[in-house]
């Protein structure tokens, strides 16, 4: 490899040059690396770091990772507000999110406190996911406000079950070529018949012809 470094080059300069010498052979489309929707899955952790994602879990499904990264910009732009907390939690694939501030409680709670309720439908949350929810809230809220209650629910579907039934009827007919499968022979009694025939012959001559 031809080098352009001076004789007094350092080891780190040599390493940088060796790394950059084959950058044009990498099979990566550069313009997708900064797009959360098209970035190769293997590079998503580095994209999340560059977007300053506060909470990250390598075990998340790929679509959740992309959504968290995509929402990061707006979350940071509104950081410290109720909306930022909601958007950050929505990106974590939570179905129920309710944020109640101190002046909305009855009776009112201590000033600058708030309560968060989150839930999922038909699936539970692991201890790690619960820790991530708390970590996300603490990283997104403003410094003045204090979380005094976090409730996590498993919400079951309230719709009545739908039952369905189907009935199929029909006849199965098999046609075979005609064949005699039984035969009955009747025995007839013999009939005898007889007849007789009789006749008389008479000859009549004229008178005088007999001598």
Across the range 185-195, mean pLDDT stands at 68
Q: From CA 85, how far away is CA 89, in angstroms rounded?
A: 6
| Weakest mean pLDDT among 32-36, 67-71, 179-183 | 179-183
Q: pLDDT band for 153, please (50, 70, 90 cuts).
A: confident
| Weakest mean pLDDT among 26-30, 47-51, 95-99, 179-183 | 179-183
Mean pLDDT of the chain: 82
pLDDT of the residue at 18: 87
Q: pLDDT band for 188, please (50, 70, 90 cuts).
A: low
Q: From CA 76, how far away is CA 72, in angstroms rounded?
A: 6
Q: From CA 114, how far away is CA 109, in angstroms rounded?
A: 8
Across the range 30-51, mean pLDDT stands at 90
pLDDT of the residue at 179: 64
pLDDT one-digit tens code per residue, 59-100: 889 999 999 999 998 888 888 899 999 999 988 888 789 999
| Beta-bridge partners for 150 | 116
CB neighbour list of residue 32: distance below 8 Å, 6 or more residues apart: 38, 39, 40
Whether pTM exceeds 0.75: no
pLDDT of the residue at 49: 93
Q: pLDDT band for 157, please (50, 70, 90 cuts).
A: low
Q: pLDDT band for 116, please (50, 70, 90 cuts).
A: very high
DSSP state of 42: G
Q: pLDDT band for 167, please (50, 70, 90 cuts).
A: confident
Residue 96's nearest CA partner among 53, 157, 145, 162 is 157
Which pair of tokens denotes residue 86? 């909601």
Which pair of tokens denotes residue 15? 């390493």
């Amino acid at each position: 490899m031809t080098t352009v470094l001076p004789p007094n080059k350092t080891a780190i300069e040599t390493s940088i040059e060796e790394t950059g010498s084959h950058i044009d052979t990498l099979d990566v489309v550069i313009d997708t690396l900064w797009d959360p929707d098209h970035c190769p899955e293997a590079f998503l952790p580095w994209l999340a770091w560059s977007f300053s994602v506060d909470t990250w879990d390598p075990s998340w499904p790929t679509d959740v990772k992309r959504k968290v990264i995509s929402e990061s910009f707006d979350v940071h732009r509104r950081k410290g507000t109720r909306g930022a907390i909601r958007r950050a939690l929505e990106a974590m694939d939570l179905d129920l999110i309710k944020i109640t501030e101190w002046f909305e409680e009855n009776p009112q709670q201590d000033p600058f406190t708030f309560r968060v309720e989150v839930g999922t439908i038909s699936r539970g949350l692991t201890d790690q996911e619960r820790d991530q929810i708390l970590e996300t809230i603490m990283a997104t809220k403003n410094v003045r406000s204090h979380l005094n209650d976090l409730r996590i629910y498993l919400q079951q579907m309230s719709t009545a079950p739908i039952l369905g039934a189907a009935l199929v009827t029909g006849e199965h007919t098999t046609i075979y070529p005609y064949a005699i499968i039984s035969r009955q022979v009747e025995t007839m009694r013999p009939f005898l018949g007889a007849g007789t025939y009789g006749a008389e012959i008479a000859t009549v001559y004229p008178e005088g012809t007999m001598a």
